[in-house]
Amino acid sequence: MVPAILPSSVRGILWNLLGGLWVGALVIVSTPVLVSNFGVDRFGVIGLWVSLQVVLGLFDFGLSSTLGRELARAGADESVQGHAMDVLVTFERCAWGVPVLLLLANLAIRAMSGPVWLSSSVIPPAELARALDIMVFALALQFPSILYAGGMVGAQRHGRLNATISGINTLRWGGGALLALKGVQLQEFFLFQALVSAAHSLSLRAMLRASFAPSTSGRFRTSIIRQYLPFSAGMAGTSICAAMIGNADRLLIGQFLTAAELGRYAIAFTGCNVIQMITIPFYRVYYPRYSQLVASGDAVALRREYLASCRWLSLVVVPVTVFLWVFASDLLAIWLGSAQPDAASILRWLVLGVGAAALGWLQGAFQQAHGIVRLHFGMLLVALMVGIPLAVWGIHSFGVLGATAVWLVHGAVTISLEPVLMHRSLLRRDLWRWYAIVLLAPLPASLAVAIAARQWMPSGMGRWTLLAWLTSAGLVSLAVVFQSQAILTPRTHE
């Protein structure tokens, strides 16, 4: 039978999934309020702030992932908690130094470009300048929260982390929407966000430090920076490559095609987000869990946990990917209320790459838990070097569909080249077992159920009856895939 997933892992996955869903719901609900009350130009500045939050994560330089790994290892051996606290103290001084550099960079940009480095024909220059300064200040105060969140993941405090982030984001977006309804100026909106950002960083800092024994103290050590610099640099490179893969397709479309084609592609890409929403919680739970087992030296438990987690990830990702591919047009019609044939065609190609890439997230986590970063980073780099030129050629040859080449190459590398190279040094005898787990068992079963549901689907169904039909078919697919996993794949303890 399919091995049981640990209750703590189930809770961690659910907490991360619910946290992501809650933040997404807040953004969806608050966006119309912000647009209608601030206007398009002012909302554009808010959109810039949201984008910069994502970009800011790249300047973490891998410190949060490194801290998470060390705290997970410390959980397996309480005698090294003192060293883990030294790592935290050292890294957080670096993390609080980055906001200072960010503020200085803002001053330098203003000195070179004038009071306002963003132009607007609607917002008065004085208001825009103050708003941008306070926006940068809010980003600076939020930056350390990235480190502390990584530490909380490593300490496997998923419930507290997501409850806190959900509360902070409720305050951030709900409070921001209320301020917009009251007609405040843009700088007052960002001043509120700066206060929320400070609360975000300081609350996570307090919770992370509370996870240590009361007698544990730490100190800043330059030797720690030298010790962890290679791993942090590799993690930083991985994050940068992943961000480039995640955005290169739309940047290329914006460069070579029209805004309308970019909009159709954006619809399809948003539809694929459901796969990443499933995958990220698995990574956040199992990266520290693998790190803990590596530190304990229990190779048997580590192998069992890795193969079991891959089973459960594929149990969900593969059926979702197949259903998005088979029912792309129907799902978009349910979601948007009308048929979107162009977006459906894009979605069918895009989901193949995104779904295949999702199956490799735990591979990356397994390597990183062993302190190995070059392989996963190298595979992302290969996907970029091959995918971007291929996407440029594809856009000129096939239009907007060609942009999906970035993800198709990434997915192909993830399920073909990377497993082979990884299993040459880690889990040497389990390469074909892994393929049986993530592809052989779930893929044929998912395809069979999806194709049957498509063939037997009654014609002329309305929006909600179609949703009920696809939901029922999806549940049947999950049950069939679960059973095929139990029958067709070998047990992990063999």
Q: What would the pLDDT profile of 254-269 be if each residue is shown by its tens digit?
A: 788 876 787 788 778 8
Count: domains in the chain? 2
pLDDT digits (tens, 9 = 90+) for 27-62: 778 877 887 888 767 777 787 787 678 777 777 888
Specify whether 243 is located in the same domain as 178. Answer: no
The answer to whether residues 95 and 242 belong to one domain is: no
**Residue 126 sits in the same domain as residue 249:** no
Residue 71 φ/ψ, nearest 5 degrees: -70, -35
User: Could you tell me if 241 and 347 lie in one domain?
Assistant: yes
User: Does the pLDDT value for residue 462 go beyond 70?
Assistant: yes
pTM: 0.82
100-114, 334-348, 367-381: range with lowest mean pLDDT: 100-114
Q: Looking at the structure, tell me whether residues 134 and 246 fall in a common domain.
A: no
Q: Are residues 416 and 332 in the same domain?
A: yes
Residues 142, 185 within the same domain? yes
Residue 67 lies in a domain: yes
Domain assignment present for 226: no
| Same domain as 415, residue 376 | yes
Is residue 190 located within the same domain as residue 242?
A: no
Query: Residue 24 pLDDT more than 80?
Result: no
Q: Is residue 337 part of a domain?
A: yes
pLDDT in tens, 174-196: 999 999 899 888 889 999 999 99
Residues 394, 312 share a domain: yes
Q: Which domain holds residue 343?
A: 231-494
Does residue 87 have a pLDDT over 80? yes
Last residue within a domain, chosen from 173, 193, 220? 220
Judge if 213 and 305 occupy the same domain: no
Question: What average pLDDT does this structure show over 283-299?
Answer: 89
Residues 202 and 274 both lie in one domain: no
